[in-house]
Amino acid sequence: MNLKLSIKRLKQEPGVPFLLEGELTLPAIEHGGTVMALGTRLSFRGEAVYYGGKIHLALGIKAEVERECSRCLRHFTVTVEKDERITLREEREVGLEDDDFTYPDEVEEVSLLPYLQSLVLSSLEP
pLDDT at residue number 126? 60
Quick check: 61 and 44 in contact, CB under 8 A?
yes
Phi, psi (deg, nearest 5) at residue 118: -60, -40
Interatomic CA distance for residues 118 and 82, integer angstroms: 12
Q: What is the pLDDT of residue 94?
A: 54
Stretch 25-54: mean pLDDT, rounded? 77
Give the Å distances, CA to CA, from 79 to 61, 64, 104, 121. 10, 5, 32, 12
CA 87, 61, 82, 37 dihedral sign is: negative
Q: What is the residue extent of each domain of the chain?
A: 4-123
Q: Please, where are the H alpha helices in the chain?
A: 7-12, 113-123
Indicate whether this model's pTM tops 0.85: no
pLDDT of amino acid 35? 60
